[in-house]
Every structure is written in structure tokens, then in C-alpha cells.
Amino acid sequence: MYDWLNALPKAELHLHLEGSLEPELLFALAERNKIKLPWHDVEALRGAYAFNNLQEFLDLYYQGADVLRTEQDFYDLTWAYLQKCQAQNVVHTEPFFDPQTHTDRGIPFEVVLRGIKQALVDGEKQLGISHGLILSFLRHLSEEQAFDTLEQAMPFRDAFVAVGLDSSELGHPPSKFQRVFAKARSEGLLTVAHAGEEGPPEYIWQALDLLKVQRIDHGVRASEDERLMQRLIDEQIPLTVCPLSNIKLRVFDDMRRHNILAMLERGVKVTVNSDDPAYFGGYVNENFAALHEALGMSEAQARRLAQNSLEARLV
Ligand SMILES: [Zn+2]
């Protein structure tokens, strides 16, 4: 890996903790919890990581998350990710967790949150990595279920800084969650949302106007709407872009067609993130490296992208 990339201090603003579950840890947790897996070994599981779209990935992702059962499991998952951050000079992270992925299969909310939060607190003390945790709602579920999750989370209000929206985008526009986001804001929480990955630019408008988000997660389809592009530039609304994810899930056919550097040059506040690194082939630095190799990203551009990530922090 490039030394100059490693040397850049960076923040990661789009990372699903459940998506950082590496096959080796997945197998170790399955053994610890005596869970039988449908894959024979780590290699067979890696072989299953070929996706045609977001939904195919999500099906595997939810299956993998099933090995996470105890507070220690969530701690170990988060700790493994923080060690990657340290190795790559990610000095601040704002990860997502999806409580509904776990509470829907009978894992208590507090088991999930305590394991994750303890690792983040230890990471701050022992590794010097600061954080702001984001509670993300699954958009393929109902707004009613999101309200239930928010209510479960309120006794732990101080443990997280924002709510987000992820999972299957198409057919689940931000407008579906307008009321629960308003409730979260009334509790003093900040807001972000995935929009404009597979969904149209209209979903980005909705995230901004109806959910009042501070940042857009992905947002790469904004380039199809000139008026929206101008607004992103004028208001300096950050986009948390995930290049390797976009290729793996076929948002772009080829990294050489990715629009992140074109957006950067136009003055959009784009950042580089890994999304679900265990599934998409790399952490933050591998994403930067892919932009260097496929798009000729210069060191100066990398420095601006890293600076954007530090400026786009919620906390
Ligand atoms: Zn994501």
C-alpha cells in the first residue's frame, strides 16, 4: 500500500459495523456460539461474495450477522474494525449499527449496544480513535417498527449521536420515515440517510427536505440532476461515497466510470468510505488506492478527500 495514503489522517463516515465482519471472525463466532453455517470454510464463504445488486448482498449480510449473539461478540466485531482503523490512520469514525437486524432475531437491544459502545470507548482510550455512533433504521421494515426501535434506544440516548437509514433503497423512499426522523430530531439527534445509491435523485431531495439530514450516504446519482448538484455545492452538503461498494453492487460498471473525482473537482464535498469492507474488498485505504489506480487520483486530490472527511464529521 502507498505510504503517503497511510500517512493521511482520515475520518470514516460510512461504515456498517455488521459489514466489517470478516469471514475468519464469522467462523470463529459461529464456533463459539455453536452455530452451524451453510458454508464449509472461509474460502467457500468468500466465494459467495459475488453480487449482482444491493439485494443479493443484503441477503448474505443478514445471514452472516446471525453469528453475532452476545455482548462479547459485538465487542469483538467492533474491536477488530477499530484495529483496522488504527492500521490505516483513520483517526475518527462514525459507524452505523442496525439494531433491528439483531432485535428481530431475539437479541436484546442493550446487548448489541453495550458490546459496541464498550469497544468504541476502549478504542478512544487505547487507540486514540474518536467516534460518534449512528443508529440506523432498516428501510425495508415499516416506520412503525422504526418508532419501536427509537423507543428502545431512548434509555441509551447518550450512546449515539444520530439516526440513519439503510438497507434496500428502491421502493422505500425517505418520505416513508419522515415522522420517525422528526421524532429523533426532537430528541436532539442528528440525521443522515442512504440515498441516491440505487434510488433516484428524488430520494436525495427527500432526504434533505423531509428528513433534514446533515449528510447523504452514497448520493452518487446526484450527478443526474443538475439543480441538485448545484444545491450540494452551494450548501456544502457532504456525500459519504463508497467506491469499492459501488463497483461490487454494480452502481457503476467499472471504477474508471466512477464519478467521485468529477464531483470533487466541481466542488461537491465528497468523502471516501468503505461501507461494508469485509464484503466489498477493502477498508478506507483500499478505496483510496482503487481511485488512484483506476482514475489517476493525485496526492493533492487524496488530501482534499481526507480533509473533507474530517470537516464532514457530525461530532
Ligand atoms: Zn451503506
Question: Which parts of the chain have pLDDT scores under 50?
Answer: none
Indicate the number of domains in the chain: 1
How far does the centroid of ligand 1 lie from the alpha carbon of residue 69, in Å?
Answer: 22
- Return all residues near 184 (Cβ < 8 A) that are at least 6 apart: 150, 163, 191
CA distance 166 to 96: 9
Q: Is 88 exposed, middle or buried (0-12, 13-18, 19+ CB in 10 A)?
A: buried
- pTM (two decimals): 0.97
Query: Residue 1 has what pLDDT?
Result: 64
- Write the CATH number for 59: 3.20.20.140
Angle between helices 299-311 and 284-295 (to 10 degrees): 140
* Per-residue model confidence (pLDDT) at position 145: 98
- Residues annotated as part of the active site: 197
pLDDT at 129 (0 to 100): 98
Say what the pLDDT of residue 2 is.
Answer: 80
For ligand 1, the distance from its centroid to the CA atom of residue 220, given in whole angstroms, is 12
Domain containing 218: what range? 3-311
Q: What is the DSSP letter of 175?
A: G
Neighbours of ion ligand 1 (CB under 5 A): 275
What pLDDT shows up at residue 311?
98
Q: How far is the CA of 164 from the centre of ligand 1 (A)?
A: 10
Give distance in angstroms: CA of 194 to centre of ligand 1.
Answer: 7
195 contacts 169 by C-beta, under 8 angstroms: yes
- Mean pLDDT (the chain) is 97
* DSSP-assigned states of every residue in 62-101: HHHHTT--SHHHHHHHHHHHHHHHHHTTEEEE--EE-HHH
Comparing C-alpha atoms, which of 70, 101, 79 is closest to residue 20? 79
